[in-house]
Amino acid sequence: MVVEEGLELRAPVEGDAEGLFLQIDANRNYLREWLPWLDDICSPEDEVSAIGRDAKMRGDGQSCMYLIFLDGEIVGVIGLNWIDWSNRGCGIGYWLSQGHTGQGIVTRCCTRLMDYCFDDLGLHRLVLEAAAENFTSRAVAERLGMRLEGITKEREWLYDHFVDAALYAITAPEWRERNQD
C-alpha cells in the first residue's frame, strides 16, 4: 500500500523477520516506555512466529499488521490491532523507530490506512488508544481529527504498572467530512 513516493505499507512476510527484529532490538529501550510486548520478541525466530500469527489473524479477518518502509528500510509497524466486523469497527496501533520520529511518518501512514479502512473495507468506526501520558501518540490522534472520548483507568499493564489510556475515535462520515475541508 503506497502512502507516497518512498513511503510504503506492506504486510510482513517471513523474510522480513530479521530486519524487523533488528529494528525492534535497536529501539528496545525507546519502545519500552509505551509498548508491553517487547519481552516477547527476543530473537528473529520470535518475529517469525509473530509474522505467522499475523498472517493467520489477517486470513481470519481479525487484525492485520503492516511494516512501514521508508526508502526500502523497515522503520516501524502500523496495523489494525482488532477488527469487529459485526459493528464495522477497528482499532489502530503503531510504533516507529526513534530516529524517524518527528517527520509526520505515522500521521501519513495512519491517514492512508484510515482511507483503506473506510473506503475499501467499509468499516464505520476507527479507535486509537494511547497511554494517557503518551502525548506524542495523542497528538497523532488529534492531527487526524479524532475526538477524545475519554480516559480509561488502568487500561494496560506495562511491565510493572498499569497505565491509563486516552481513547480517541472517528467515524467514516466524520473522516470524509474532515478530508473535504
Query: What pLDDT, in 10s, does the model give residues 42-61?
Result: 888 988 988 998 889 888 98
CB of 68 within 8 A of CB of 78?
A: yes
Question: How do the domains of the chain map onto residue ranges?
Answer: 2-180
Q: Please, where are the H alpha helices in 60-143?
A: 105-115, 135-143
DSSP β-bridge partners for residue 94? 78
Under DSSP, the state recorded for 11 is -
Laid out side by side, the sheet with 7-10 consists of: 2-4, 7-10, 64-70, 73-84, 89-96, 125-131, 162-171, 147-157
d(CA 65, CA 11): 6
User: Whole-model pTM?
Assistant: 0.91
pLDDT at 38: 84
pLDDT at 181: 59
Once rounded to an integer, what is the mean pLDDT over residues 95-118? 94
CATH number of 2-180: 3.40.630.30
In the three-class reduction of DSSP (H, G, I as helix; E, B as strand; rest coil), residue 9 is classed as strand
* 120 has pLDDT over 90: yes
pLDDT at 24: 92
- Element containing residue 2 per DSSP (H, E): strand 2-4
